[in-house]
Amino acid sequence: MTGAFGGNPAIKAALLTRLENHIANGTLRFGGTVWDGSGGSALGVSTEGGDSADYASRFGYPLPMAGLLDPLTAYAGSDSGGDAALRWVECVEVGADLSRVPQRIVDHFLTDMGVERLAASSYADVRALHRAEASGVVMHRSEWTAIRRRIEAAVETTLPHSHERAALNACATACWPLQTSSSILSTLIAAWLQGVNREADPAFGELKTKRAMATLDEIYQQTQPMREKGEAVDIPALFRMRDPILAAGFEASLERANARYLDRAQSVPGIVLAHLATA
């Protein structure tokens, strides 16, 4: 295939029409990849199947991009998922060379996670592998594995829940060949989204968070025998009974974290589509 849509405007037009029809019929769904014969996810309806490699081959998108399509529309949500699916196609020019887009998206999210500062050496290793791959160097799986294991060993030297650990883990997540990886971008973006859990919540504070976690852990340990007997245990309710003020503060903090997660998730389509559009 020569670039996006094989250089054929008719392929792009047919794909857009298909998506528009499914949106109009309410048969475009947002979530995991699915095709049930009459409707499904963006990748599902585009290929009338569920194979990322098939999508990549038919429409000239790199394999990691094909693997990202359904997660991206899911992040957009049911209100905007259809628009995201359409823009995914519309913003790409017929014949455009998209081969460098996955690398740019990897760099975008790794940089946003602070790898240049927190995991400079590992990031340099991963970039070197990706550049070698892009220049046509054929590398055996063991070469990627060796670097990834080195990064994973470095992870073990860091503090749990630290930004440094997250940055190194992100480098390990990105340490796969881009040309044969349908899951690399979706996995990396999922890790980026989890970053909200490391953001401080000044309204609740570190001390209260530690107290809340310790209380929850204590309740969990104490109710282990009940769970082993198959009895239903409502841990949040037990927490509220034991320390109502702390539990209320913790639940409010969780709600704020969920809202931050949602904000981040909904920003993913914009970020990715901007990279696609500039290819």
Partner 1 sequence: MTGKVIDVAGWDVAAVIAEQRGLILFDLWSPTCAPCRALAPILDDLAADFVDELRICKVNVAVDEAIAKPFAARTLPTLALYRDGVEIDRVVGLKSRGHLTAWLESHL
Residue nearer to partner 1 on the CB measure, 28 or 147: 147
At closest approach, how far in Å is the CB of 67 from partner 1? 5
CA within 13 Å, CB half, 79: 1
Q: At closest approach, how far in Å is the CB of 216 from partner 1?
A: 23
CB proximity list for 168: less than 8 A, separation 6 or greater: 118, 119, 122, 151, 154, 155, 158
| Min dist. Cβ of residue 182 to partner 1 (A) | 5
DSSP state for residue 137 in the 8-state scheme? -
Choose between 154 and 219: whose C-beta lies nearer to partner 1. 154
Shorter beta-carbon distance to partner 1: residue 139 or 241: 139
Ramachandran area for residue 110 (φ above 0: left; ψ -120 to 50: alpha; else beta)? alpha
Strand partners, 40: 28, 35
Q: State the nearest-atom distance from the C-beta of 31 to partner 1, in Å.
A: 8
Binding site for partner 1 (CB under 8 A): 32-34, 51-53, 67, 141, 145, 148-149, 152, 172-173, 176, 180-184, 186-187
Specify the residue, 202 or 230, whose C-beta has the smaller distance to partner 1.
230
Measured distance CA(243)–CA(199) in Å, rounded: 24
Could you give the CA distance from residue 242 to residue 212 in angstroms, rounded to a whole number?
11
